[in-house]
Amino acid sequence: MRLMLAPMEGLVDDALRAALARIGGYDCAVSEFVRVSASCLPAHVFRRMVPELDHGSCIHGMPVRVQLLGADPGLLADNAAVLASLKPAAVDLNFGCPAPTVNRHGGGAVLLDEPERLYAIACAVRAVLPAALMLTAKMRLGVADTARALDCAQALVEGGVAELVVHARTRDEAYRPPAHWEWVGRIGEVVRVPVVANGEVWTVADWARCCGVAGVSDVMLARGAVVDPFLARRIRARGEPHADDEALRAAEWRELCPVLAGFRDQVMRKVKPGHAAGRIKQWLNLLRRRYAQAELVYQRIRPLTAMAAIDEVFAAAGVVAGTGRVM
Ligand SMILES: Cc1cc2nc3c(=O)[nH]c(=O)nc-3n(C[C@H](O)[C@H](O)[C@H](O)COP(=O)(O)O)c2cc1C
């Protein structure tokens, strides 16, 4: 059984990966996509976007795979060669992004209409990677329907993809529930590589149902992991009953406070001062779905833009800036 942390561009960057890895429960993570559109990106761009590359492609023991997004096999291969020199935990290819700006340029989920192109991309990228470096891919079920889902999965595996994450929705379904977990099982029946289920896993019960329906034991958590940073750990501890959910949430919140402080510190080091408040509010806005304490902090910091004022609210809530351990 494996649990993976999903790529989420604009939401999960190295700062949030560090926070979630510190809480633990993940076997690996995939970085947000690095977009390959016109040129061969220099190494420093990969290292800036995925700073874990300078630390063995790992954060708090969690290996980080790096995702590429693009449409041109040759260009993707050139970029993959640069990336490979930085020794990522694996190279991942994105065939799931539904964003119109990305799809208009032929990248992301729109490629699922062209299994031949998927094959060409996988072959070209595989050819430039050292034998020991794994090539993986993340796909949706199709663009408008699932008619070519099996062809796409087979094309990727024939091209050299050694593990496939299936986000069990079409591009047109965007992020709307349900996720069609049964399709993960169908894909698993036609390829000889590990298949990982993804989509709509928010709770331990969702995880159990997803594994049952898909017939797999490996799951990638995405939005659920950000709303509930302890989800992976609770999935691993599923045999242990918790009599009192409120007490559990209170204990989790206490453990989360220094992690939030570390996140705050890392964000402050990374982004321009004017952007830090937005990043911190973004995570708290999601955390308040599970933690009443996060709701209180969020409501207080919502109108604030100055980090000094936010730090005062944090300090009163026990989230003390400068105390968070990172990297
Ligand atoms: C804000 C956001 C950004 C995302 N960015 C990426 C990305 O960079 N690469 C990718 O393969 N998937 C990306 N995804 C898709 C997720 O990895 C995942 O497949 C999707 O959210 C479904 O899982 P969930 O229902 O558990 O959230 C993104 C999703 C969200 C919500």
Mutate to test the pocket of ligand 1, among 95, 136, 167 (most ligand atoms within 8 A of CB): 167
Distance 96 CA to ligand 1 centre (A): 8
How many angstroms does the Cα of residue 36 sit away from the middle of ligand 1? 18
Over 60: is that where the pLDDT of 324 sits?
Answer: no
Q: Looking at the structure, do residues 226 and 261 belong to the same domain, yes or no?
A: no
Q: How many CA atoms lie within 13 A of 192 on its CB side?
A: 3
Do 68 and 195 fall within a single domain? Answer: yes
Distinct helix (H) and strand (E) counts, the chain:
14, 9
Q: Read off the pTM.
A: 0.96
Residue 114: inside a domain, yes or no? Answer: yes
Q: Based on the fold, state whether residues 157 and 210 are members of the same structural domain.
A: yes
Question: Where among 174, 203, 236 does a domain terminate?
Answer: 236
pLDDT 10s digits, 213-229? 999 999 999 999 999 99
Are residues 261 and 151 located together in one domain of the fold?
no
Ligand 1 binding pocket, CB closer than 6 Å:
6-11, 32-33, 67, 94, 96-97, 138, 167, 175, 198-201, 222-224
Q: Are residues 61 and 104 in the same domain?
A: yes
Structural domain for 266, as ranges? 246-316
What's the CATH code of the domain at 127? 3.20.20.70
Q: Are 280 and 209 within one domain?
A: no
pLDDT band at 327 (very low <50, low <70, confident <90, very high): very low
Q: How many structural domains does the chain have?
A: 2
Structure confidence by residue, pLDDT tens digits, 241-277 = 666 788 999 999 999 999 999 999 999 999 988 899 9
Residue 294: pLDDT over 60: yes
Check whether residue 304 and residue 226 sit in a common domain: no
